[in-house]
A and B are shown apart, each in its own frame.
Chain A
Amino acid sequence: MAHDLGFWTLQALNALQLSMLLFLLSIGLTVIFGLMHFVNLAHGSLYALGAYFAASLAAIGGYWMGFFLAPVAVAGVGVLLYSRLIKRMRKSGPMAQVLVTFGLIFVLLDLTRIFWSDLALAIDVPALLSGRVELLGIEYPAYRLFIIVLGLAIFAALAFVLGRTQIGAMIRAGVDNDAMASCLGINVERLFFIVFCVGCALAGLAGVVAAPLLSVTPDMGLQILIPTLIVIVIGGLGSLKGAIAGSLIYGFVQTFGAVLAPQLASVLIYALLAAVLVIKPVGLFPAKG
């Protein structure tokens, strides 16, 4: 099959779109890990919750109500999880944390099933973004462009906050050496709580933007968890640069793998993951060198 330039542009945009979706998910997870050394496997479930909240809110007040309120609602769930569960698990070691948050996946999965039933829910693309846009000589769905732009905007905002503001400096200090940071008078616990909530909200946001593109089903959180973990392992734990690099690598390998070597599509990314773990076990851009 002969492919013209438009075909490759289209695929590059597809790759970028998938990358941005994964970036929204992985950034929260990776910074939570970097700062708190806390593995929150239930992060995918928060993404699913975001999609469900958005679907319910969209049924009342349209897409944009879901878009703005669902991440807040997911952050609320994050507050609840933090104060009831995660605070107690802070000092209990990674194995116990993995087990608890893994169990949390199933609890949240069954709660979504009880509240929203097993049937898939619908959420429509908002009218503003429903068409296609002429771009670089091809037509591309406006909603997918919106995801790309949103991802880049969030990246820019986070890069600014982490790199240029006082709270960003505090977070970086906390990631680097939390004991020293608290000696210097930074309230690491409170910082941790804020980061956790923001991470949850971003996971919820990812759920909201993914919902019109994918289906809203109870197991959507489980399906996205593995790609997210691959992203942060490739990118390196705890860093913004790692999350964006990992997401881009995942998105492009997955998309172009599907085009160039469809038989290998599902293996390629795991092969890459293995290669990264062998050559650079800490990932490409870890927060701590």
Chain B
Amino acid sequence: MKRAILAALGLATSLAVPAAAEENIKVGLLLPFSGVYAALGNDIEAGFSVALEQFGSEAGTGFDIVREDTEVKPPVALGKAKKLILQDKVDVMAGVVSSGVLGAVRDMVHGAGVPLIVANAGNDEATGTSCSPFITRMSFSNGQVNRPMGQWMHDQGIRKVYTLAPDYAAGRQMIGGFVETFTAAGGEIAGQDFTPFQKTQDFGPYLAQAKASGADAVYVFYAGGEAISFVKQYDSFGLKADLPLYGSGFLTSPLYVNAEGPAAEGVITALHYVPTLDNAANAAFVADFQARTGRLPSEFAVHGYDAARALVEAAKTGARDRASLAEALRQVSFDGPRGKLSIDPATNNIVQPVYVYETVAGENGLTQKVLAELPAEADPANGCKMAPVSN
């Protein structure tokens, strides 16, 4: 009996597939499903699926998804990208969490002319010196998230800041973005430390330095496990009262803020998305995402969601092959959970508002209270030279 059903199922799908396959757009999802960023990869994929469910019917075509695991290893990811492009012959790719992976697949994607929708990796160069008309970023750039905070914190009367971040490209770019605008506004940097990336168990030495520096506040970027350790240790030294903690919003991401617990209360950070944003598009997204996963969506989930949404919008214009999809993706613009989004055709980076939020105690654990919406600004070109949009 069981075998008969299986056979029937097999027959049904084998009949159904060829008919649809001619029309469908083939999408390669290049995400980490194992390794240190597996939680991010899963969140992005869930967001991607939610968006296809919500908007897929508007596209005028179906989507066939091929998943590949990058393992957060650049050489592995490059091999998987080659497989997607040459063997699976995908029309478009989406994903990429780590900037290292993006750097590794960049030339392959650019050379093959396959559009890639970046759904996380934030390194400034990807939409700067090594930009490509085939790479469109729907997530954020490291500088973009932090730049508005410089002026905002100065406006709050903060004059001297101590900065901390892990010692790798993203840490330096995030802090660089903040320092640039904070000093331009007239603020002073009391001191800076870059801690060994993923090798720092104890932040105590750095916290004592920050405390001794005489700063008004501390501005940091940490993400994932390091963010949890940092926020807890910051609180355990009792620094929060005298030396308020600010930072890039990944510090208290909804993905892991509950592991930080009460230590995260009162931390003020800036990010391009929090699940408590009050708009209709976000309400629909949060409801469907929660129904699917039982969790609130994080900024990573919204990257996946908007990446799929951008793909649907591009398909709506009638684009079906690699070249036309790449052109259409560069002109995408819509109102999403994050507010009004568009792509800057000069760099192919997303233009989006940035939200300042405070982590506060809510009814079901910690929640995000939005303090300010800082207007969307396109990144400077950063040495990106790209042919203008043609059509």
Contact status B194-A219, CB under 8 Å: no
Cβ contacts under 8 Å, A262 to chain B: 193-194
Contact status A1-B224, CB under 8 Å: no
Contact status B202-A14, CB under 8 Å: yes
- Which residues of A58-111 have CB atoms within 8 Å of chain B's CB atoms? 110
Cβ contacts under 8 Å, B193 to chain A: 258, 262
Stretch at the interface among B19-27, B32-40, B348-356: B32-40
The answer to whether the Cβ of A280 comes within 8 Å of any Cβ in the partner chain is: no
Contact status B228-A215, CB under 8 Å: yes
State A23–B170 Cα separation when bound (angstroms).
Answer: 33
Cβ contacts under 8 Å, B199 to chain A: 223, 226, 266
Name the residue on B nearest A140 (C-beta).
Answer: B237
Contact status B38-A118, CB under 8 Å: yes
Name the residue on B nearest A260 (C-beta).
Answer: B205
The answer to whether the Cβ of B333 comes within 8 Å of any Cβ in the partner chain is: no
Contact status A213-B258, CB under 8 Å: no
- Which residues of A171-221 have CB atoms within 8 Å of chain B's CB atoms? 210, 212-217, 219-220
Pick from A7, A14, A266: contact of B212, CB below 8 A: A7
State A229–B199 Cα separation when bound (angstroms).
Answer: 14
Please count the residue pairs between chain A and chain B whose beta carbons lie under 8 angstroms apart in the complex.
111
- A129–chain B nearest beta-carbon distance, Å: 10
State A277–B167 Cα separation when bound (angstroms).
Answer: 27
Q: Known: A217-B225, A265-B196. Is A10-B259 also a contact (CB below 8 A)?
A: no
Contact status A7-B208, CB under 8 Å: yes
State A266–B209 Cα separation when bound (angstroms).
Answer: 17
Binary CB contact string for chain B from 222 to 256 against chain A (1 if under 8 A, 0 otherwise): 00111111001100111000000000000000011
Cβ contacts under 8 Å, A3 to chain B: 212
Contact status B201-A132, CB under 8 Å: no
- B168–chain A nearest beta-carbon distance, Å: 11
Binary CB contact string for chain A from 19 to 47 against chain B (1 if under 8 A, 0 otherwise): 00100000000000000000000000000
Cβ contacts under 8 Å, A21 to chain B: 201
A to B CB contacts below 8 Å, 29 in the list: A1-B191, A7-B212, A11-B204, A14-B205, A18-B201, A117-B39, A118-B42, A119-B39, A119-B256, A120-B224, A122-B258, A132-B237, A132-B238, A139-B238, A144-B204, A210-B201, A214-B228, A215-B224, A215-B225, A217-B36, A217-B228, A219-B36, A223-B201, A254-B205, A258-B193, A258-B195, A262-B194, A265-B195, A265-B196
Contact status A118-B39, CB under 8 Å: yes
Pick from B42, B206, B236: contact of A125, CB below 8 A: B236
Pick from A117, A119, A224: contact of B201, CB below 8 A: A224
The answer to whether the Cβ of B213 comes within 8 Å of any Cβ in the partner chain is: yes
Number of A residues with CB within 8 Å of any CB on chain B: 46
Interface residues of A (CB under 8 A from B): 1, 3, 7, 10-11, 14-15, 17-18, 21, 110, 113, 117-122, 124-125, 132, 139, 141, 143-144, 210, 212-217, 219-220, 223-224, 226-227, 254-256, 258-259, 262, 265-266
State A143–B300 Cα separation when bound (angstroms).
Answer: 33
Cβ contacts under 8 Å, A139 to chain B: 238
Contact status B229-A258, CB under 8 Å: no
Contact status A113-B38, CB under 8 Å: yes
The answer to whether the Cβ of B299 comes within 8 Å of any Cβ in the partner chain is: no
State A39–B251 Cα separation when bound (angstroms).
Answer: 37
Contact status A122-B225, CB under 8 Å: no
State A226–B205 Cα separation when bound (angstroms).
Answer: 20
Contact status A255-B228, CB under 8 Å: no
Cβ contacts under 8 Å, B209 to chain A: 1, 259
Contact status B201-A141, CB under 8 Å: no
- A9–chain B nearest beta-carbon distance, Å: 10
A144-B204, A258-B193, A265-B195 are known; give 7 further A-B pairs, CB within 8 A: A210-B201, A213-B229, A213-B232, A214-B201, A219-B36, A220-B225, A223-B198
Cβ contacts under 8 Å, B167 to chain A: 266
